[in-house]
Chains A and B, each alone.
Chain A
Amino acid sequence: MRNNLSSALFAAGVTFILSFPLMGLQLTTEGVNLIVATSPAATFGYIAAGVLAVFFVQLFKEQILAQLGKAKPRPGTISNFLPTDATRAKLIKPGVLLIILGALMWPFIMERGATDLATLVLIYVMLGLGLNIVVGLAGLLDLGYVAFYAVGAYTYALLAQDFGWSFWACLPLGGLLAALFGFLLGFPVLRLRGDYLAIVTLGFGEIIRILLNNLTDLTGGPNGIGGIPKPTLPAIQTDPEFSVVGLEFTRRASEGNVPFHEFFGMSYDPASKVVFLYLLALLLVFLTLFVIRRLIRMPVGRAWEALREDEIACRSLGLNRTAIKLSAFTMGAAFAGFAGCFFAARQGFINPESFVFKESVIILAIVVLGGMGSQIGVILAAILITILPELAREFQEYRELMFGLMMVVMMIWSPQGLLPMKRPHIELKQE
């Protein structure tokens, strides 16, 4: 009981400090002056009762808990607070379900701005997961990842502008084209390793950006491409005749499409567009997550990691290192292509400014911060890196400084990232 006396006094003190000014004092305006008035005496009685209650409950905590039959061991070690392996395994499934449910509900609970920001986060999650294949799993440092993002974005923008192709036709094409670029770059580059590889990929990223800037006839140069159509929701129409139409989330639809609200006979809500984009991004992220989770467990995923661990051993076992590295590079590029395609559709306007080196660095920072190879880590880091600058808008001029500081602190505190990779090991069932 003596042990509890000081903590009981402290808890009571805190209760008093918190409740007295909040409840005991009131501000009233009298003319132009603010006057501090005290509350009626009864309120002070309640505060005193509350403080006393906290004091005694803290003082006789153990006895009370014992009476309730749930006496807890004194929190001596930190392991008391950590879930055991068994409970953790039990918690994972509902936890994941809860997160998915939360992500799905998000746009309906939060306001428009938050949904828009979340969509941006999802784009970075996709980019982070894609680069994670190249850097985290295969161990190839790629500093020009943003080039593949640009390829995806420009694929959709140009095809929509010049040929009127729809988002759904361009999405796989953007991924494929980015993959092709990854493949072409990979061929000469993958003989290099480490620092040299990083420099060449950096150069490639810049080449793509400068090309986009200077091929004015094709890409519009620094002016970029505007008026990129938003994605539509494909739906089946039965009236006037059976056909597939794209539902647009605007007040009036363009030729051949139908506005979403008219199709379902609702009134027009301008927020529906944002919600749709968010859900689309979420779908793409889930798809990315699923594919990469499978890849890690497949022979190609194992080969990526083996190559990162020991290249010479791989060669001696008959693994073709060029093919394996290329597959990682190509696969990573494809996801950037998908993300780019979506990015162009969401923004409605793109120019080379969106694909500068700094973007590559941010994506790489997400991978490193999250913990190389760890998927949950990458998701967390993407959220952190996208949201922090938004939250720190007041410190406008110190944002870069804070970013740098955060990286330094992270590297000292946990050099392996937020959640170091815990690979899903393939296990042999013991008979």
Chain B
Amino acid sequence: MSNENSSANPALRQDGLGLSRRSFLRNSGAAVGGMAAAVAALSPLLELQADDIPTVDAFIQKHYKEMDEGEMQIALNRISAKVKERYDIEPNLRDIRPKEGVEFVYALNLSRCIGCRKCVYACVDENNQSRSPEIQYIRVLEMPMGTLDLEAGKHDYDRPKVPSGDHFYMPIQCHQCADAPCTKVCPVEATWTEPDGITVVDYDWCIGCRYCEAACPYWARRFNFSTPELEPEDINPDMSYLSNRPREKGVMEKCHFCLHRTREGKMPACQEVCPTGARKFGNVLDPRSEVSQILKTKRVFVLKEDVGTLPRFFYYFDERHARPEGQEG
């Protein structure tokens, strides 16, 4: 550089390399700029945490349906180790398969729901969703009496007390459709419907294209736009591969009827927390079950029946008008 500056008439002089001062400056400027651009482009790599880099096990892991028992065990061990490393919690992680002769169905009594949103947060507590940004599988619509037009519903109602006398409340979550549009659009088959009727996501196979989110008529799918924020005390260690194990940034997730609970005979978290008994869950193939009785004796309906998705989530009202606030129940 100093050599170049010291020469008397540098603009036209050619040195041994055939390089003028002007072209040198231009080229070196471009080179510095190019390098800076490359560094800038690669700079997100500096923020990579050690556990963001996939291990060999993670890289060669097969699709859920193609893994044999040994390969599944390797995957479970890898995920458990990661949970232990991140949250210092020993998870009870397993792969639970559907039961023979069981098809899960949900029924929700709109005459009983009071819109308290306990189900929303019991679900978050159970399923290790990101706390910030918030990911919630259930959203509760406050609907004016006398219409089922979802456009009239309000998500963010905030009152000192619920229910308000002139509204009813309509919780919406994944409807576990029998003809699910979300599974058809997935380009990598990372989501599918299981024999017991639950539509699941293989979080290790999802590429985050969000086609399924667009395809769902019920707005039931949630995307991890950023790394889920969870504190160790938020973690529910009772986990399964297809349900509530911690997710990564860039994958879809959704309600899975708490399959790590329900496939072992328990009730889903939202049913357990409901203070009014508006939520009903069971095996529709058992004619004695609560949901079979409801389908038999109540006037049930599904949301957006016209789109032909055949939901396994039914709504119904009791056969009487809803009561104004404070009257006998």
- Say if A and B assemble together: no
List A residues at the B interface (Cβ < 8 Å).
none
